[in-house]
Structure 1
Amino acid sequence: MFAKSNLLGTCLGLGLLAGCGPLPSPDNIGPIRVKGGYQAQYRDPDARTGAQAFLVAERMNAETCVSDLAGTGNSAKGGLLTTLSLNGERLSHNDLVDIRIGDDETFNGDYVVSRDGTLKLPFLPPVRAQGRSTNQIEAEIARLLVSEGLYEEAPRISVRVADFASIKVSVSGAVFEPHAMEIGQVSGDEIDRARQAALGSSTEARNLSVALRSAGGVRPDADLSRVELHRGGKRHIVDMRGVFEGRHSVDVTLLTGDEVVVPSRQCFQDDLMRPSPISPPGVSLYMSNLTQPATGNAVSAIGQSVRAVPYGTRFMQAVVDTNCVGGARASSAYRSAVLFTRNPITGVSTVIERRIEDQMRRPDRDDYDPYLLPGDAIACYDSNVTNLAEVARVVGIVGIAAAIVP
């Protein structure tokens, strides 16, 4: 019996030490502790809370940025001229077009842009339509009618889009989910019969912004000054900085076969961490709640596997969202929270830990409060008092078992 008591005391002592002893900061491949991560906010907090009079994380993030369009020798004006050449709605294959040539029933009717990107009218050579405006197609038809000897002089011609088809494009580079995609499709419950019967059609579902958002949204390291659009063997530069700067930004209409490449500035840009037409629609987080005072995520109103928060949410906001903050100070203070994330540039995972009470009381807390990215995971750990209570409960169970066993 004496041996059992000694064993029990030893277990209790070890449990107390385990519950009270602080754990070291998580190890990472990158120099996260000294601002070597994707965000400067990942670095370990300075122990001297009064040493930081100003917030410096945003400046530290900007130090690693490569120059944008304004600093590469390409003028913004040159980029704008390239963009203007893409302005206006352009036809793509499978679009439905209404063509009328005076009262000539031979040509009047609805036509679909063929897979090869042409319109095939009777008695005329194929008319190139892929990537062209309706005005350009009208001029081309007029020229062919005269050159083929069907008319002595060009008649009045009307080309109107009756319906835009979906298109297949690809997006790569500094986006969260680079892949080939189909955009512009309309589901059955969204069909407008009145629009289908009317002449003329318009769509924003084939715009560049839709493709970027469908690719998970642009990453915080994206270079929006020189988004590349590859079309027909040519490379166009689109300046989309106006989306975040409150200026007009040209939203190009895409065509089937277009390839979009978003370059990276190799740095984290804090000003891109907010909702926009080209940002992620939100952040789905994987969460693991603490054991006390809640016994599980369900009773804490936390979803079984993920929970969505607005894009631009910070780590501590999500920690509050997991019921990991507050409660009785004697038993609930000095919890910690862990952020599991991944550097989207290198693909290397990172683990960040914060002592919640220390973080809340820092005047420079924002400098060490990371922004959340899609796919991040959060885990909360209970306070030392709760840990000791749990150890005592386990030791008690062991002691009872030891007393029962002869």
Structure 2
Amino acid sequence: MRTRKGQLGLGVMSLLMASACATPRDASNIEPASVGGAYQAQYRDIDTTRDAVSTVLVSPRMNAAKCKPYGGDTPTGTKGSYGGYLPDALRGEVLSRGDLVELLLPGDDTFSGDYVISRDGTLKLPFIAPIPAQGRSTQQVINDAVSALISGGYYATTPAVSLLVKDFAPVRVAVAGAVFEPQTVTIGGVPGDQVDTLRQAALGASTESRNLTVALRNAGGIRPDADLSAVQLTRNGVTYTLDLRAALKGFGFDDVLMIGGDELHVPSRGCFQDDLMIPSPISPPGISLYLSNLTVPATGNAPSAIGQTVREVPYGTRFTQAVIDANCVGGARATSADRSAALFSRNPMTDVSVVIERKVEVMRQRADRDDYDPYLLPGDSIACYDSGVTNLSEIARVVGLVGLAVAIP
């Protein structure tokens, strides 16, 4: 006669065995990811009826079919077709509020000295009216200063004047549109523990940390749907259209020096562009992954060597590469071959999430795997699932524990 405890143990065993054999349900998605209607065509279900060897990869073509026309000129693929025309107002070195400058007039102790461009964007010299400096070159400021000194009666003839930038101040720039983290970013400046004393003592200053590309990267980098042909920069009420496609082609381009109050807007083409999924000065600096790894044989991140170099992968990494990097692939074929991995992502244009799952061995075997191997995006998560054999072995372990508990009076 079975005891009540024994009956409970048998019930638990039966339930565990049934759950081990049950097929998990497919994930439900709002967007039609299974047919290529989500952010990436690579999300769609694998077509097992196609001849994988002879199939031409179609995902990039499916993605491109959704694209709106370029807002700027259509590229021709030649070096001269990228980069566009940069207005003179955006060329060269310009001043911003907070910049430290040195004004030098030979033999003059009244006006010579160090000055900080004021919050209102002007250079304020003693005894004369403030001189506009925000967004202007040092030569333009010098010309106005000379005119003010002569008209004020301080000089009868044109004096020799030098205006040198001694330090570029950090600036705040608003970045919106097709970037991963639209926000107001602060760029420029050097941390106190990295000050170069030799440069501090020298006349003049230079910086790359206040460039347009830095602002875009600090806002998370451009998204794959960005229209780089028509990036808008608004400065002092005037909007300029910039072509940044050269930044992804390895061609030289003018990296605009930003000033305080600038506004950047990156328009969207409304589609996923595979050719933007490469490291570049304006792409995300990398991708930090959220991983849920295997129970067997990976019992945790530390013993599985899942550290920072695994959780952070280069921009342009694909799903299968990350799954391998996360220790989800390999091992004994008899027990580990039938693993699968799930990707949790989000459409940055609509903010709607998507979940897809891939059989690791199916991806390994197919020649057209790239058609179903999505690119990873910032904030993506990966979960790995063990094979059926491993599931049964885990069930057996639990059943053994239950049986031991039942046997103990």
TM class by shorter chain equals over 0.9
Whole-angstrom distance in 2 between the partners of 1:95 and 1:153: 29
**Counterpart residue type for residue 364 of structure 1:** D
**Counterpart residue type for residue 40 of structure 2:** Q
Whole-angstrom distance in 2 between the partners of 1:249 and 1:264: 21
The answer as to whether partners of 2:73 and 2:229 remain within 8 angstroms in 1 is no
Q: CA 1:77–1:59 in 2, change beyond 3 Å: closer, same or farther?
A: closer
The offset of 1:247, in angstroms, is 1.8
1:58 equivalenced with 2:55 (yes/no): no
The answer as to whether partners of 1:287 and 1:305 remain within 8 angstroms in 2 is no
Correspondence for 2:177 among 173, 176, 189:
173
The offset of 1:88, in angstroms, is 0.7
- Matched residue, 1:41: 42
1:136 equivalenced with 2:154 (yes/no): no
- Matched residue, 1:107: 111
Correspondence for 1:226 among 210, 227, 230:
230
The answer as to whether partners of 2:82 and 2:245 remain within 8 angstroms in 1 is no
- Matched residue, 2:192: 188
**Counterpart residue type for residue 196 of structure 1:** Q
Q: CA offsets per residue over residues 272-320 of structure 1, 9 Å max, x none?
A: 1111111111111111111112222221112499811111111111111
The answer as to whether partners of 1:79 and 1:237 remain within 8 angstroms in 2 is no
Instruction: For residue 85 of structure 1, give the secondary structure of its aligned residue in structure 2.
Output: helix
The answer as to whether partners of 2:82 and 2:243 remain within 8 angstroms in 1 is no
**Counterpart residue type for residue 315 of structure 1:** F
- Matched residue, 1:367: 371
Moved more, 379-388 or 44-53: 44-53
- Matched residue, 2:295: 291
Moved more, 33-42 or 150-159: 150-159
- Matched residue, 2:21: 20
1:353 equivalenced with 2:354 (yes/no): no
Whole-angstrom distance in 2 between the partners of 1:352 and 1:78: 36
Whole-angstrom distance in 1 between the partners of 2:28 and 2:283: 31
- Matched residue, 1:272: 276
1:91 equivalenced with 2:95 (yes/no): yes
**Counterpart residue type for residue 230 of structure 2:** R
Q: CA 1:24–1:238 in 2, change beyond 3 Å: closer, same or farther?
A: same
Q: CA offsets per residue over residues 87-130 of structure 1, 9 Å max, x none?
A: 11110111111112332222211111111111111222111111
**Counterpart residue type for residue 50 of structure 1:** D
**Counterpart residue type for residue 60 of structure 1:** M
Correspondence for 1:199 among 200, 203, 219:
203
The offset of 1:20, in angstroms, is 3.3
Q: CA offsets per residue over residues 123-162 of structure 1, 9 Å max, x none?
A: 2211111110011111111222232333333222211111
The answer as to whether partners of 2:98 and 2:118 remain within 8 angstroms in 1 is yes
The answer as to whether partners of 1:67 and 1:265 remain within 8 angstroms in 2 is yes
**Counterpart residue type for residue 348 of structure 2:** P
Q: CA 1:7–1:167 in 2, change beyond 3 Å: closer, same or farther?
A: closer
Moved more, 4-13 or 363-372: 4-13
Whole-angstrom distance in 2 between the partners of 1:356 and 1:148: 79
Q: CA 1:145–1:6 in 2, change beyond 3 Å: closer, same or farther?
A: closer
**Counterpart residue type for residue 319 of structure 1:** V
- Matched residue, 2:69: 67
The offset of 1:7, in angstroms, is 7.4
Question: Aligned residue pairs: how many?
Answer: 402
The offset of 1:81, in angstroms, is 4.0
Instruction: For residue 91 of structure 2, give the secondary structure of its aligned residue in structure 1.
Output: coil
The offset of 1:210, in angstroms, is 0.7
Whole-angstrom distance in 1 between the partners of 2:293 and 2:85: 53
Unaligned runs of 5+ in 2: 75-79
Instruction: For residue 230 of structure 1, give the secondary structure of its aligned residue in structure 2.
Output: strand
The offset of 1:219, in angstroms, is 1.1
The offset of 1:70, in angstroms, is 3.7
Q: CA 1:304–1:202 in 2, change beyond 3 Å: closer, same or farther?
A: closer
Q: CA 1:81–1:154 in 2, change beyond 3 Å: closer, same or farther?
A: farther
Overall identity of the aligned pairs, in %: 58
Correspondence for 1:208 among 206, 209, 212:
212
- Matched residue, 2:323: 319
Instruction: For residue 69 of structure 1, give the secondary structure of its aligned residue in structure 2.
Output: coil
The answer as to whether partners of 1:49 and 1:364 remain within 8 angstroms in 2 is no
Whole-angstrom distance in 1 between the partners of 2:308 and 2:251: 41
Whole-angstrom distance in 2 between the partners of 1:270 and 1:77: 20
What are the residue-to-residue correspondences of 1:248-263 with 2, within 5 Å? 248-263=252-267
Q: Which TM-score applies when normalising by structure 1? A: 0.92
Whole-angstrom distance in 2 between the partners of 1:264 and 1:279: 15
**Counterpart residue type for residue 145 of structure 2:** I
- Matched residue, 1:125: 129
- Matched residue, 2:77: none
Whole-angstrom distance in 1 between the partners of 2:56 and 2:289: 30
The offset of 1:25, in angstroms, is 2.4
The answer as to whether partners of 2:72 and 2:243 remain within 8 angstroms in 1 is no
The offset of 1:22, in angstroms, is 3.0
When the two chains are superposed, the root-mean-square deviation of aligned CA atoms in Å is 2.4
**Counterpart residue type for residue 32 of structure 1:** A
- Matched residue, 1:154: 158
The offset of 1:355, in angstroms, is 0.7
Q: CA 1:44–1:84 in 2, change beyond 3 Å: closer, same or farther?
A: farther
Moved more, 279-288 or 144-153: 144-153
The offset of 1:15, in angstroms, is 3.9
Moved more, 140-149 or 125-134: 140-149
- Matched residue, 1:334: 338
Q: CA offsets per residue over residues 260-283 of structure 1, 9 Å max, x none?
A: 111111111111111111111111
Q: CA 1:48–1:128 in 2, change beyond 3 Å: closer, same or farther?
A: same
Whole-angstrom distance in 1 between the partners of 2:237 and 2:96: 16
Q: Which TM-score applies when normalising by structure 2? A: 0.92
